[in-house]
Amino acid sequence: MIKIGILDLQGDVYEHLKTTQKAVKKMDTPAQILKVKTASEVSKCKGIIISGGESTVIGKLIKEESIDQVIKKQKIAVLGTCAGMVLLSTKTDYEQPLLGLIDMQVKRNGFGRQRLSFQKEIEIFDGKFPGIFIRAPYASEVGNGVKILAKIKDKIVAVQDGNCLATAFHPELTQDTKIHEYFIKEVLNCVE
Ligand code: GLN
């Protein structure tokens, strides 16, 4: 049975755990969803989810635990949401440790600070999705080969590059499991 790890260093880990479990149940996929904290635990997973939280803190802990090295060496698939999107990028407007797995320029807190957080329906995968944006980043530029999945005006809010998927919003805070289902089905290819 494949394992999907929710990186349990900081942020809204529990919400991702619940949403991923719900998606797996709905899809009737034989996958084990578990929280992971160490490089050794990460190495046993086919996919990893990096939650929203503080990208500076999560990034520092990822490096300290050498989790970035395992992800890169084993080419583990990653879904990064909000802070996770920042961490997947190659460039931000802030000095911080990054995984650099998606070639994109990201602006942290691109939509403004906490009080400017908002909810907006976005278009993704030929449908609508309730986007929750909390001190959300956006990508202003992406490299060749990076697929843009959703935008708000000129701001890129969801992308995919190979087996890495990033959203500026928080799919784990909604009842809609579409993003998690996409990660499990299309990125991890683990639907029988
Ligand atoms: N702005 C935060 C960061 O860059 C992300 C906020 C969030 O994950 N809700 O870490």
Report how many domains make up the chain: 1
Expressed in angstroms and rounded, the spacing between residue 53 Cα and the centre of ligand 1 is 5
CATH number at residue 75: 3.40.50.880
- What pLDDT does residue 191 have? 58
With tokens 């278009």, the residue in question is: 123
Q: With contact defined as beta carbons under 8 Å apart, do 153 and 122 qualify?
A: no
Active site residue 170: yes
Please work out whether the CB of residue 88 comes within 6 Å of at least one atom of ligand 1: no
Confidence of residue 30 (pLDDT cuts 50, 70, 90): confident
pLDDT tens for 1-22 read 899 999 999 999 999 999 999 9
Q: Which of 168, 175, 172, 119 is nearest to 148 (CA)?
A: 168
Q: pTM for this structure?
A: 0.96
pLDDT tens for 85-119 read 999 999 999 999 999 999 999 999 999 888 889 99
- What pLDDT does residue 114 have? 84
Please work out whether the CB of residue 54 comes within 6 Å of at least one atom of ligand 1: yes
- What pLDDT does residue 186 have? 87
- Is pLDDT of 190 > 90? no
Task: Find the mean pLDDT for residues 21-48.
Answer: 96
- What pLDDT does residue 89 have? 98
Range of the domain at 141: 2-191
Under DSSP, the state recorded for 171 is: G
Instruction: Please state, in angstroms and rounded to a whole number, the distance separating the CA atoms of residues 11 and 84.
Output: 10
Please work out whether the CB of residue 59 comes within 6 Å of at least one atom of ligand 1: no
